[in-house]
Structure 1
Amino acid sequence: MTAPSDPAELDFLSFVDYAVNRAGRELPEVDPVAMRLVLTLHRVTNALVYDLESSVHRPRGLTWPGFRVLFVLWHVGAAEAKRVAELSGMSRAAVSALINTLERDGLVSRRQAEHDRRAVQLSLTPAGREAVRSAFLAHNERERAWVSPLTETESATLIGLLDKLMASGRTAKRRL
């Protein structure tokens, strides 16, 4: 993609080329390939999440974070709030605040964990199970639309490359 030379003509995705070119001129020591890859990955992810939230989850009364919590509970079953936070990539505080809303809406129930009175055990209600299943069917339709330009081989290659980045991220996290 070639970015417009006039910043007023940029959009969310064309900004990547513009930013990489400008950073390279201002800071020649910047690695433009790493910058382009991470900025593109971040931008595509944000666009994808926005699309999923606005076209699938909001119409069902869910937020993206709310769906993430329901999705984790749907797959792992009842779990402590701290485990749900870990698996959803959210802070404990964010999950705690979300649970209030999800419980009020009748999608999640909570109780004290038996092994630790301070810990909270979360589980889906029958309404929560139905909500996440229904939302995920529509969610997966949007996923299919997003990946439809890729061939099966390209999809497999991209998954493999992203797996390598995730493994690298785990290693980099330990080095910090």
Structure 2
Amino acid sequence: MTDRPADLDYLSFVDYAIGKTRAELPATDPVAMRLGLTLHRLAGALVYDWESTVHRPRGWSWGGFRVLFVLWLAGPLESRHVARLAGMSRAAVSALVKTLERDGLVTRSAVPRDRRAVELDLTEAGHASVAEAYQEHNEREQAWAASLTPSERTTLIGLLEKLTTGPAAAAAQRLT
């Protein structure tokens, strides 16, 4: 383990962080820490790649794409359902929809049975834009997945799904 944090790279920082943390907090579970840090770093790298190569060139944020993606596949929907499916707050969806509506990609309409609720839908331009973007997005997904064999992909998907449906995930979802 290096003593010079400036010499660390993106991945070697995980080993460094575990060593330093265990020195100060010996009860730290290094495997759980490695899992958390590695998943966080991977998720960040994936989002950065997709956002910088596919979505930002279209003028969208990662959040904006997520709203469009949900509406493309599941819409039209009330904004609260879009928020839940996109894993976002209602406030974040509301702010994003203002931009997406301004850009002619999404429409908002009142829900007759609840005047406080808003239904969101894609415009024709929004549908065409998100479908085109997702083709490119999926090419990036394929590039990332290519590092694994088909069997490894299946195993990893199963393990990730197990984490996302486990007790800690259920507890975290109750907080949202």
Give 3-state SS (helix, strand or coil) of 1:119's partner: strand
Aligned match of 1:62: 60
**Aligned equivalent of 2:165:** 167
Between the aligned partners of 1:24 and 1:17, the Cα distance in structure 2 is: 11
Deviations 1:10-52 (A, max 9, x none): 2233211111111111111001100100110011100110010
Tell me which residue corresponds to 1:17. 15
Q: Which amino acid aligns with 1:113?
A: V
The range that moved more, 14-23 or 91-100, is: 14-23
Tell me how far apart the structure 2 counterparts of residues 174 and 63 of structure 1 sit (CA, whole Å). Answer: 24
Which residue of structure 2 lines up, in the alignment, with residue 143 of structure 1?
141
Name which of 61, 77, 80 aligns with 1:79. 77
2:34: which partner in 1? 36
CA distance in 2, matches of 1:116, 1:127: 28
How far did residue 4 of structure 1 move?
4.6
Percent identical residues: 61
* Secondary structure, counterpart of 2:116 in structure 1: coil
- 1:107 has 2:105 as partner: yes
In structure 2, the partner of 1:46 is 44
Judge conservation of contact 1:20–1:36 (CA < 8 Å) in 2: yes
Counterpart residue type for residue 137 of structure 1: Q
1:10 and 1:124 map into 2 onto residues whose CA distance is 45
| CA distance, structure 2, for counterparts of residue 123 and residue 157 of structure 1 | 36
> What is the aligned counterpart of 2:116 among 118, 124, 143?
118
Structure 2 residue ranges without an equivalent (≥5): none
Superposed CA RMSD: 1.6
User: What CA distance in whole angstroms lies between the structure 2 residues aligned with 1:107 and 1:11?
Assistant: 40
Aligned residue pairs, count: 174
Q: TM-score, normalised by structure 2?
A: 0.94
Equivalent residue in structure 2 for 1:134, among 129, 132, 135: 132
**Alignment partners' CA distance in 1, 2:2 and 2:173:** 40
Runs of at least 5 residues in structure 1 that lack an aligned partner in the other structure: none
C-alpha distance in 2 between matches for 1:142 and 1:173: 29
2:14 is equivalent to residue 8 of structure 1: no
Name the SS for the 2:121 alignment partner.
strand
Secondary structure of the 1:28 match is coil
Deviation at 1:174, TM superposition (A): 7.5
Deviation at 1:5, TM superposition (A): 4.1
Correspondence for 2:155: 157
